[in-house]
Amino acid sequence: MVLQSLDPTDPGIVARRPAPLWCAALAVLILVFGGTAKADQPGDGAELIRLPPVERVSYEMEVMEQPAGTSPFYVGYDRGFVIANHGSDGFSANEFPFVMRMNSWFHLRHVLFDAYEPIRDKNTITIERIRLSFNGHLYSPDLKYSLVLAGNTDQSVAVTFLDSFVTYDIGHALWAWEPGSLEIRGGNWKVPFSRSREESARRLQFSERSVANLFYDIGRSVGFSLLGEREAFDVPVRFETALITGFNTGRDSTVSSEELDTNFGYTTRVSTDLLGEFGNDGEPDLRWRPFPALRFGTGIAHTTVGREGTAGFNRPRVVKSGQRLADLLPAGVSAYDIWMFTIDAHWKHRGWSLIAEHHWRYINRFQGDVVPSLLDQGLVLQTGYFVLPERLELAARWSKITGDSGTLGVENQSTNEVGAGLAWYIRGHDVKFNLDVSWIDGVPLNSPRLNLLPGDEGWLMRTQFQFAF
């Protein structure tokens, strides 16, 4: 084993022998809180603090000498706290075969619900979401991983594994295509279907997604997918198609495999940006684009639900009472099919944003008894405008669900959500305050995210503080 000797004249070296663990911890504290030295850009006259070189092991586990004057790993902040296997004055993830980025964010929410009789009112403070994520790549930038831990005060389980998946860029690794052109993914993650689920909850205009968004939702599931981005007619086209264990509407966490039937689900989403780069600032036009940006998307999903899978069979709810479909069906029904479709458009320009979505849920092919096909449709219209650029945004939303699932095909029923709110972007989406008020005349699902119960009607006010790093 060969150790790289240290140059005592090198100002970046803080010790001539490998530093103990407390030295590494002290270096991290200085980088984050000291203010006199940063990992990616030293301050005025400040010296960059490096840890002493150590051995570097190749992929074949051969010991190699570390080049003089460099550090074998990086600890610092770059859109999240980062640990990489060797360091430099700046940070570019593709320079490292091993990278881990850590992020965290949470929602502290106050909920006030003035319900119509005989429904109970609500006045509570919750930690609606708390996330701790670890993302990066292993051995090569082509092999990426993601692990997300989640907790909240709505459920008895303190912490769960929300996401855990790996993604391999086969297009770049095998055929030297542009990174991200063709990838495969496996694990547990947000499956592709709708715009709102594709968007992170930390980049919303309101405190929460709309009732219709959560009703027409597949959630997270375990499976495999093929995804990527290609150009067609000089515009980018993103796609993802997945084979999953089933639908998980209205929930974040997945269910036990013992509660599922033997039927897989299939889902696909395709989206494109027609007017140039759309960006990643979420639902609002936080960047105040001087030119319009427009994104179109569509999704389709299908599964067969069998009574032997109690979780999947009892999950679907009906309009507008929010009852379980399984409670309304004849006892002889043993299985049925669910088809879901969505189409959406998202436009931004000079502080304005507009979202329009239409959703369909078609339930048919009932087995074991005679039940007519059921159709529920949903609409979401949402807009926002920055009255103070990049700081204060006003927003309004209307979502509507109508369908005959609640009467087993006899007649249509409907539910509406009409809301308005404001968002104060203290530090972009990382530090943000939301206040919104909504009138709701029926909740057709059971989701803790709404802070409501199935069938609730009344006025809902939510105030929320979001913090992220």
Q: Where are the domains of the chain?
A: 1-96, 100-128+179-468
Tokens for 188? Answer: 């547990």
The model's pLDDT over 290-301, given as tens digits with 9 standing for 90+, comes to 999 999 999 999
DSSP 36-55: S--SSS--TTPPPPBPPP--
The residue ranking higher by pLDDT, 259 or 336, is: 336
The model's pLDDT over 268-281, given as tens digits with 9 standing for 90+, comes to 999 999 988 898 99
Mean pLDDT of 90-117: 87
CATH of 100-128+179-468, one of 2.40.160.10, 1.20.1050.10, 3.40.50.200, 2.40.10.10: 2.40.160.10
Distance in angstroms (rounded) separating the CA atoms of residues 195 and 266:
17
The model's pLDDT over 384-413, given as tens digits with 9 standing for 90+, comes to 999 999 999 999 999 999 999 999 999 999
In this model, does residue 169 exceed pLDDT 90? yes
pLDDT for the residue 41: 41
In this model, does residue 14 exceed pLDDT 50? no
The residue ranking higher by pLDDT, 27 or 216, is: 216
Chain mean pLDDT for the chain: 84
Distances from the Cα of 383 to the Cα of 217, 345, 360, angstroms: 21, 12, 22
Mean pLDDT of 417-433: 97
CA angle 438, 439, 442 (to 5 degrees): 120
pLDDT for the residue 76: 76
Distance in angstroms (rounded) separating the CA atoms of residues 196 and 296:
13
pLDDT for the residue 249: 74
pLDDT for the residue 284: 97
In this model, does residue 56 exceed pLDDT 60? no
Closest to 161 (Cα-Cα) out of 220, 107, 216, 103: 220
pTM: 0.80
In this model, does residue 78 exceed pLDDT 60? yes
In this model, does residue 344 exceed pLDDT 90? yes
pLDDT for the residue 123: 96
pLDDT for the residue 39: 37
Residue type, 323: Q
